[in-house]
Amino acid sequence: MCCAGSHNPGGRSRIQTKILWICQAIVDTDRSVIFACAGNYGNAMIRIHSMRIPTTIFQSCVCVWTLSSVMGVALAAEPVDELPNLTAGVVPIIAYKAHDPFANDQLTSVSHVSYVIRVKNQTDDPVIAESLVLIIDRIIEISGADISDRIRVKGADGHMADGRPYFHIPVGEKKDLAPYAESESITLELDNPDYLRFYPPTVQVRGEKRVSSKSVQELVETLVNKGVLTTDEAAQALESSSAPE
């Protein structure tokens, strides 16, 4: 089997990111493969039944899927706007850099506020380090009003299509943010020209989870048992797709 693609651990092809295929393959007498699969594209479920494709094509698809899952091989980097929202499992931890300037009952405010933010991966899945971003979602005044357009976010690494700023989340020299591990901290600096009083910003964490090599191995073993792959082809695919430490 042969595969093509560019090594890009920070993103995946849109097909792999948006569609998670679950395949059950059966080898027909003419060496074609009949399989049913289900997946999702955005909020839409996709179901395909009794699709027949040549075995060689199916083997190539498995090889591409394996490499892109484990090594981050991608046809194109995933735009930040389309990265999955991981905030429920990769939790942001926000603290004032010095002290809370709004902690007292005085009506005065400050013109500059700084926060130190890191994230903790509270899931069982590693997250690809180069894909991790922190999005400044909203800034809410103490009165409850959204004042995001009145606060200036300094030093953002980029902006979403809707204008929200984002920052890359550093994890040192590691290729992944491991399960239950914490990232390094970033400093978020806000200019407050109107001297407003507001809560810490609402943020999102986005990124790509890395498919475990165990999941890939189980898939390949299933295909060997079905007769879709030979043992030599399976060994070659698993050896080629082993992620470097």
Percent with pLDDT over 90 in the chain:
48
Residue 47, domain member (yes or no): yes
Q: How far is CA 192 from CA 101, 143, 228, in A?
A: 12, 16, 62
Q: Which position has the higher pLDDT, 200 or 44?
A: 200
Give pLDDT, residue 114.
Answer: 96
Q: Are 34 and 73 contained in the same domain?
A: yes
Q: Are 44 and 158 contained in the same domain?
A: no
Q: Are 43 and 33 contained in the same domain?
A: yes
Residue 245, domain member (yes or no): no
Contact 65, 13 (CB under 8 A): no
Give pLDDT, residue 119.
Answer: 98
Range of the domain at 134: 80-206
139 strand-pairing partners: none
Residue 57, domain member (yes or no): yes
Q: Closest Cα to residue 146, out of 121, 164, 134, 129? A: 164
**pTM listed for this prediction:** 0.63
Q: Are 109 and 140 contained in the same domain?
A: yes
Give pLDDT, residue 113.
Answer: 95
pLDDT band at 240 (very low <50, low <70, confident <90, very high): low
* Mean pLDDT calculated for residue range 1-18: 39
Residue 164, domain member (yes or no): yes
Residue 1, domain member (yes or no): no
Q: Are 88 and 168 contained in the same domain?
A: yes
Q: Are 188 and 223 contained in the same domain?
A: no
Q: Closest Cα to residue 10, out of 160, 127, 183? A: 127
Q: How many domains does one find in the chain?
A: 2
Q: Are 195 and 119 contained in the same domain?
A: yes
Q: Are 109 and 151 contained in the same domain?
A: yes
146 strand-pairing partners: 140
Q: Are 172 and 160 contained in the same domain?
A: yes
Residue 178: pLDDT over 50: yes
Residue 233, domain member (yes or no): yes
Q: Are 152 and 172 contained in the same domain?
A: yes
Q: Which position has the higher pLDDT, 211 or 27?
A: 211
Instruction: Supply the mean pLDDT for the chain.
Output: 75
Q: Are 69 and 123 contained in the same domain?
A: no
Q: Are 117 and 29 contained in the same domain?
A: no
Residue 178, domain member (yes or no): yes
- Using left for φ > 0, alpha for ψ between -120 and 50, and beta otherwise, residue 54 falls in beta
CATH classification of the domain holding 197: 2.60.40.290
